[in-house]
Amino acid sequence: MSELSPDELVAKVAAYNPKSNSKQIAAAFEYGRRMHEGQFRHSGEPYFTHPVAVAHILAEQKLDDATIITALLHDTIEDTGSTFSEISDLFGKDVAELVDGVTKLTNLQLSSSETKQAENFRKLFMAMSKDLRVILVKIADRLHNMRTIRAMRPEKQAQKARETMDIFAPLAGRMGMQWMREELEDLAFHVLNPEARSSIIRRFIRLQQESGDVIEKITGDIRIELDKAGIKAEAFGRAKKPYSIWRKMQEKDQSFSRLSDTYGFRVITATEAECYDVLGVVHQRWRAVPGRFKDYISQPKSNGYRSIHTTVSGRDGKRVEIQIRTRQMHEVAESGVAAHWSYKDGEKSENPFAVDPAKWIATLTERFENAEDHDEFMENVKLEMYTDKVFCFTPKGEVVKLPRGATPLDFAYAVHTRVGDSCVGARVDNIRVPLWTRIKNGQSVEIITAEGQSPQTTWLDIVVTGRAKSAIRRRLREEDRGRFIKLGRELARVAFEHVGRKSTDKALTTAAKQLGLDGPDELLARLGSADLAARDVVAILYPDAQSGTDHIDVERAVIGLEPGQSFARAKCCQPVPGERIVGITYRGKGVMVHSIDCQALTAVEDESARWVDVHWHSGTHPAVHTVSLELTIANDAGVLGHICTLIGEQKANISDLHFMDRKPDYYRILVDVDLRDVEHLHAVMLVLEAETEVAEIRRHRDLSRAP
């Protein structure tokens, strides 16, 4: 490829779209080359070779001019002096918005911490909802980076490979670009487990030496049978990618020698009717393997994929997977959602099987927009991207697609939220079954509803779809609203009294307005559901309120540090003044203070140079040291409010409250309490332990939060 000349790219685009704006593509090429002048890749090549390669990958997909130009310019805003307005003036607002969208995705750290990852995934899907071509460019960008990853440092290679395997490969598959998914997986596999990949390749070579060219033999057999039946169709085969083989070996716990379907074959016909004719020919010639037949022509996948899959016992009894589809179906199978922008013979392709991207992305994002917390959002994303589907039917014969492992409750919520909320039972194939039954392919499901029924907390453990979980949580929140408002009022009263104030309606209304909430009830509901901390509400109205002026400065609460050294309390053991402590140095984090009996210390017991002899200041400390208490309390009216009152009476502030488990007869909750010292802690625990409604109380220690 003449990488720094636009001629080859312009010719490649013009070959499938003679009406393309060749001058604009060439101008974008020259602009991108000029902006990246003097920049180089890790390999030492001029940096602009990368955008050019990405543009070629997308041109192979026969995409429109705007996408090709975006590929050439996709790094200009981030890495050069180029601006949105300049690109908009030169190449149009459409291209400028696409380049800006790719730039924003490039800056997302998708493989970072769970919370940050969820926020960034949300941004990723919102970018997709605006224009799917942003993701097409980003996936092509990742594909070229993976093809040239060997120039990176080993640790960077591993990080990029894991991100590719976890995010970009499944995303490409979800969008129907199967060839790209397979290549991304295999390139990542090459980095993450090179020994396993090499082993599989060596076994393929040995197998070919022993049995000859299996692909040519079986393809020849298929062509002979098609000729006999008078069917004109293309037949070809290929060895499956090493990672695909490895994954099947892991899933089935089989060795390579016992794995049967290591090759895949395709038959491409002219018409849909011929697909079924070919199926008949194949099943007459070879014995079909039970349970290995799927008809995605009559039941297409949501990304537009259509094909018949069947596995037969071929030559020498070896299992052979055969996919049968028309030429138009094959184009969608290769390009997926990208087929919507593809050109053919100079005209935008009107492939009847290409999915409308707007409708496709709407089905993918509607439930994400309703997710109200990070865990819920990530749960939805993973369900959508990583699971296979089952197809089941309503009593009227309408098809409902669900993830594998779905239950009748998932089915009910897929039909309509109202049906799910009022579900009291289900019949599968006319037999009454429990709601936790796993639905299988092809089953008919009938939902039994009743007025007055409402979702139960235990349903969250039964359903698997993000849509059902979101709907159940939303309804539970609505039903809990009155209880949360009551609890929030008590939390607010205690927090305000803690600073010598009263939580009047006017004070709450003012705080709600400052927080941008609808009113005091919304504020109280958020307090009661632990979405908002009472001390934050107090701080908005009374930022200077203090319970005393003779407290020790929090930043100087620990003695024994070097001048300029900072410290923080370890989250795993949450030490408080009065307890024996030890300091451990962490690079970039200063000194982390642990309780002397913290289990996390075993990990550094042989690194004596990192241990620092520290102790708490002996004066009076402010009540700002958070300790997590785990309580099991009776599920009766007013109990939770009473518990909060008791804590407040001890002059302790509740900074957070989280429900760990909800059962009909008890709650298990995690309460974060701000305390002065160990005596304050003992006083709070003692008064709670004395209450009959408290079945158990203990200090919560979480080793997973160790630094």
Domains defined along the chain, listed by start: 7-192 (1.10.3210.10), 205-348 (3.30.460.10), 551-707 (3.30.70.260)
- pLDDT of 103 above 90: no
The confidence score (pLDDT) of residue 117 equals 52
What value does the mean pLDDT take over residues 581-589? 86
- pLDDT of 387 above 70: no
- pLDDT of 212 above 80: no
What value does the mean pLDDT take over residues 649-674? 86
Specify whether the CB–CB gap between 431 and 331 falls below 8 A.
no
Highest mean pLDDT among 127-141, 270-284, 507-521, 663-677: 270-284
The confidence score (pLDDT) of residue 323 equals 93
- pLDDT of 476 above 60: yes
What value does the mean pLDDT take over residues 433-445? 86
> Which residues lie below 8 Å from residue 639, measured CB to CB, with a gap of 6+?
633, 693
Cα–Cα distance, 45 to 35 (Å, whole number): 15
Q: Which of 21-25, 238-242, 516-520 has the lowest mean pLDDT?
A: 238-242
pLDDT category at 673 given cuts 50, 70, 90 is very high
What value does the mean pLDDT take over residues 591-600? 91
pLDDT category at 549 given cuts 50, 70, 90 is very low
Please compute Rg for the chain using Cα positions: 31
What value does the mean pLDDT take over residues 209-224? 80
The confidence score (pLDDT) of residue 490 equals 85
- pLDDT of 4 above 80: no
542 Cα distance to chain centroid: 40
What value does the mean pLDDT take over residues 444-470? 86
Handedness of CA 92, 93, 95, 99 (dihedral sign): positive
Cα–Cα distance, 171 to 132 (Å, whole number): 12
Buried b / exposed e over 145-163, threshold 16 CB at 10 Å, is bbebbeebeeeebeebbeb
Specify whether the CB–CB gap between 593 and 570 falls below 8 A.
yes
Residue 19: Cβ-neighbour burial (10 angstroms; 0-12, 13-18, 19+): exposed
For 289, the 3-state DSSP assignment is coil
- pLDDT of 646 above 90: no
Catalytic residue among 8, 45, 79, 221: 79
- pLDDT of 174 above 70: yes
pLDDT category at 424 given cuts 50, 70, 90 is very high
The confidence score (pLDDT) of residue 238 equals 82
Cα–Cα distance, 126 to 692 (Å, whole number): 50
What is the DSSP-derived secondary structure letter of residue 82? -
- pLDDT of 308 above 90: yes
**Token pair recorded at residue 413:** 């919520």
Pairing label, strands 308-313, 294-295? antiparallel
What value does the mean pLDDT take over residues 523-546? 78
What value does the mean pLDDT take over residues 566-583? 92
The confidence score (pLDDT) of residue 687 equals 84
Question: Which one has a higher pLDDT value, 478 or 450?
Answer: 450
- pLDDT of 1 above 50: no
Specify whether the CB–CB gap between 619 and 584 falls below 8 A.
no
The confidence score (pLDDT) of residue 110 equals 53
The confidence score (pLDDT) of residue 547 equals 46
Output the average pLDDT for the chain. Answer: 82
The confidence score (pLDDT) of residue 645 equals 87
pLDDT category at 255 given cuts 50, 70, 90 is low
78 is catalytic: yes
pLDDT category at 227 given cuts 50, 70, 90 is very high
- pLDDT of 531 above 80: no
What value does the mean pLDDT take over residues 370-380? 53
Cα–Cα distance, 707 to 705 (Å, whole number): 6
The gap between the terminal CA atoms of the chain, to the nearest Å, is 49
> Which residues lie below 8 Å from residue 445, measured CB to CB, with a gap of 6+?
392, 393, 394, 400, 408, 411, 426, 427, 428, 439
> Which residues lie below 8 Å from residue 680, measured CB to CB, with a gap of 6+?
576, 623, 650, 651, 652
Catalytic residue among 78, 86, 277, 677: 78
What type of residue is 470?
S
Question: Which one has a higher pLDDT value, 394 or 407?
Answer: 407
